[in-house]
Amino acid sequence: MKPVPSSEGLRVNWQNYKTGIKKINFRMKAEKDFVSIGIEITHPDEDLQQLYFEQFQEFRKLLTAELGEEWDWELHAQDAFGKVISQIQKVKKGVNIMDQKDWPEIISFLKPRIIALDAFWGNIKPAFEDF
């Protein structure tokens, strides 16, 4: 992914994607039984977290069009550490990061989605800059 520029033509660290908005993160996870990609809203104030989530909902059609698929939306879920987060994500089960034969499938799942997520974010980021 290193040679792939962002939607704005800039170099980007895809594995540690910076949204530029505190408490909004793009996460890619590859585990022993699944791979996922998504948007996580981690603001500690649950009311503000909900406002961010609702703002994303305003752009749901644009996100779906950019991705070419529908993702799962979850307001006020708990992460692995018991922290309340909200997330918009896509999960693929049945792949194992520890099994090298699954790597091409994992990469082909993550790569087009992070590129599409970057293009989506490039269009809507200004709507989040005033929060």
As given in the structure block, the two tokens for residue 12 are: 């980007």
Is residue 1 situated within a structural domain?
no
The pTM (predicted TM-score) of the whole model is 0.89
Within a domain: residue 35? yes
Domain membership flag for residue 88? yes
Q: Is residue 8 part of a domain?
A: no
**Which domain does 88 fall in, by range?**
14-128
Residue 104 in domain: yes
For position 7, what pLDDT does the model report?
A: 57
120 domain-assigned: yes
- Measure the CA–CA gap between 63 and 67, rounded to whole angstroms: 6
6 in a structural domain: no
What is the reported pLDDT for 4? 62
Residue 7 domain-assigned (yes or no): no
Give pLDDT tens digits along the chain (131 positions). 555 665 566 566 677 788 999 999 999 999 999 999 999 999 999 999 999 999 999 999 999 999 999 999 999 999 989 999 999 999 999 999 999 999 999 999 999 999 999 999 999 999 998 77
Number of domains in the chain: 1
